[in-house]
Amino acid sequence: MHNHFNGLKTALLLGGIFGLLLALGAVIGGGQYIWFFALFGVAMTAYGYWNSDKIAIKAMRARPVTEQEQPAMYRIVRELSTTAGQPMPALFVSPTEAPNAFATGRNPNHAAVCCTEGILQLLDERELRGVLGHELMHVYNRDILTSSVAAAIAGVITSIAQMLVWINIFGGSDDEDRPNPLVLIAMSLLAPIAAAIIQMAISRTREYDADEDGAKLTRDPLALASALAKLQNGVAAHPLQPTPQLQNASHMMIANPFRAQDVSKLFSTHPPTEDRIERLQQMARGGV
């Protein structure tokens, strides 16, 4: 078993994005407004976290399904939830050919797992079990909270950066009270980019962890590896359009739902599929 220290990486990245927020606060008014922006960030985090299930489900136009409609999904999720000692989430299906799946919800008692019609047609039951194990571990690892915090802070940083532009244009009453204009320009341009890069890096580390922990839950890393290989080809054949709503929900999905050329590596919410498959194959060789 290989320890890639993904939890430590996530903590360091969250520290980095929060440090970027503090740096911006220090630029504006000597830091006197930092508490306002911090509270704003907390409010945005709470809203996104509390409503994460509704936002993602709505973006994918998903609907709840019964056990009679999707017996395999129910059988697999019930088994894995029981094995993990966790409550069973609500199950949804999205009416799209794009093969994908995601889990959302603020905690295991208020969670939902969604599969698209495309992924249900593409994968066999063993591969679907690997995917559902991955998604359940996102819920059990509280990844929705982590991603909500990162997204909220990144949003606050972008808002502050936009305000810096206006400060630089209109200035203050006294030149000596104004921050260095070069610093303002640099921060207003670079801070949102840096925040987005860190946010995406956090998402990628959580995907690696969900792969590893999901494989431990199912005791079948090769099933997830096989599913990821199929999903890579399936998404290429049926990509989603990167609308704002779907872009906000894309980090929750097991595979990047957009065409590869639409997303750069730095701003990708998912690690390279080849790397994920290699790690899973290493797990299988070492035993789970």
The residues that are catalytic are 135
Cα 94 to Cα 6, 88, 210, distances in angstroms: 30, 19, 22
Q: Tell me, letter by letter, the H, E, C secondary structure of the chain.
A: CCCCCHHHHHHHHHHHHHHHHHHHHHHCHHHCCHHHHHHHHHHHHHHHHHCHHHHHHHHCCCEECCCCCCHHHHHHHHHHHHHHCCCCCEEEEECCCCCCEEEEECCHHHEEEEEEHHHHHHCCHHHHHHHHHHHHHHHHCCHHHHHHHHHHHHHHHHHHHHHHHHHHHHCCCCHHHCCCHHHHHHHHHHHHHHHHHHHHHHHHHHHHHHHHHHHHHHCCHHHHHHHHHHHHHHHHHCCCCCCHHHHHHHHHECCCCCCHHHCCCCCCCCCCHHHHHHHHHHHHHHCC
The length of the chain is: 288
Strand order in the sheet with 111-116: 63-64, 90-94, 111-116, 101-105
Residue 245 CB neighbour total at 10 angstroms: 13
Of 135, 101, 138, 91, whose CA–CA distance to 121 is shortest? 101
